[in-house]
Amino acid sequence: MKYLTRQEWYGALVAVLVLGVLLSIASPYFLNSRNLSNILVQASVIALLAGGQTFVILTGGVDLAVGALTALAGAMAGYMMVKLGIDPYLAILTAFAIGAGVGLFNGYLVAFVGIPSFIVTLGGLTLWRGLAFDATGGFDMSGMPEPFPFIGYGELFGLIPMPIVVMVLFYVSMSFVLSSTKLGRYVYAIGSNEMGARQVGINIRWYKLGVYVVSGLCCALAALVLIGRMDSSSGKMAQMFELDAIAAVILGGTSLFGGRGSIIGSLLGAILITMIRNGMNLLEISQFKQMMAIGAVVIIAVWIDVIRRKRLLRK
């Protein structure tokens, strides 16, 4: 029990359970296997983005361009398959190449040139979305070829929706990377004490570059699941997903100041955000109030993070 309460993601777990109980009481439609599986499917894209975002935030940076990069990778892949008739697997490779390429670009500017990540990715927010519109001529594509219908709507063993399978596999491998590889351990070291990490001989530039590449690849994966789920692609997709992804990471107990947090927390955070939206839909709460609620949740989560950090520093 003590092990559990000491985890950074403990708060998120409690929040998910409490909200689950509250919603079960408030709406007779919440607690059934169909709705719970819906929530996990709807959380999948945000969860994938939050996974990559966790790496960036752990180093003390932030990636605001994840929604735009998702749109770029997705719109390009869709355009290649539907308009140009290119093999879907080649389009998938291209999406990952775009994700890695933009990640390298962001990482280079942050780690080697020294531009704050906030600025690089704020510019990227409109740069990559603009490129997505430009490269596809602003047209929507629909009718994705296999394997996209399977990724979006298929079910493993006719039981578990594929987006959930992708999400679970992703989180298993990401938590391995974060806990058991050099990159993962150095990410924590850089985030908690960048100067110290440099002095013990960690090449912080390369590892910082690495986290943006990870985030870029996650965007590509998220884009592939998203176009499968929508059976269409366009430069318009994934609007404001950066907010949900960053919120999921912060709600999951990862500190915005870097160095502290967990990947499992981000998964719980993504589920929490989706539950909030699902609950508000079932309780028939209007669009404007939903927007206000999500914004408020983000501010409260950062507030809690700031308080926790102050307590930690006092100790």
Binding interface with another protein (CB under 8 A): 21, 24-29, 31-32, 34-35, 38, 41-42, 45, 138-140, 142-143, 152-153, 226, 229-232, 234, 236-240, 274, 277-278, 281-282, 284, 286-287, 290-291
User: Which one, 180 or 281, has the nearer CB to another protein?
Assistant: 281
Smallest gap from Cβ 86 to another protein, in A, equals 20
Q: Are 56 and 211 in contact (CB under 8 A)?
A: yes
Query: Which residue do the tokens 């909030």 mark?
Result: 276
User: Which one, 199 or 287, has the nearer CB to another protein?
Assistant: 287
In the three-class reduction of DSSP (H, G, I as helix; E, B as strand; rest coil), residue 312 is classed as: helix
- Hey, what are 148's tokens? 């996209």
Q: Are 246 and 55 in contact (CB under 8 A)?
A: no
User: Which one, 41 or 178, has the nearer CB to another protein?
Assistant: 41
| Chain Cα centroid distance, residue 176 | 17
User: Which one, 192 or 232, has the nearer CB to another protein?
Assistant: 232
Dihedral (CA of 164, 125, 247, 266) sign: positive
Alpha-helix runs per DSSP H in the chain: 2-6, 10-26, 33-58, 66-78, 88-107, 117-135, 148-153, 162-180, 182-192, 194-199, 204-230, 241-251, 263-282, 287-314
Smallest gap from Cβ 278 to another protein, in A, equals 6
Smallest gap from Cβ 277 to another protein, in A, equals 7
Query: Which residue do the tokens 């780690």 mark?
Result: 111
Q: Are 244 and 294 in contact (CB under 8 A)?
A: yes
Side-chain-side CA neighbours of 73 within 13 Å: the count stands at: 35
User: Which one, 41 or 57, has the nearer CB to another protein?
Assistant: 41
In the three-class reduction of DSSP (H, G, I as helix; E, B as strand; rest coil), residue 279 is classed as: helix
User: Which one, 260 or 277, has the nearer CB to another protein?
Assistant: 277
Smallest gap from Cβ 93 to another protein, in A, equals 24
User: Which one, 74 or 259, has the nearer CB to another protein?
Assistant: 74
Smallest gap from Cβ 31 to another protein, in A, equals 7
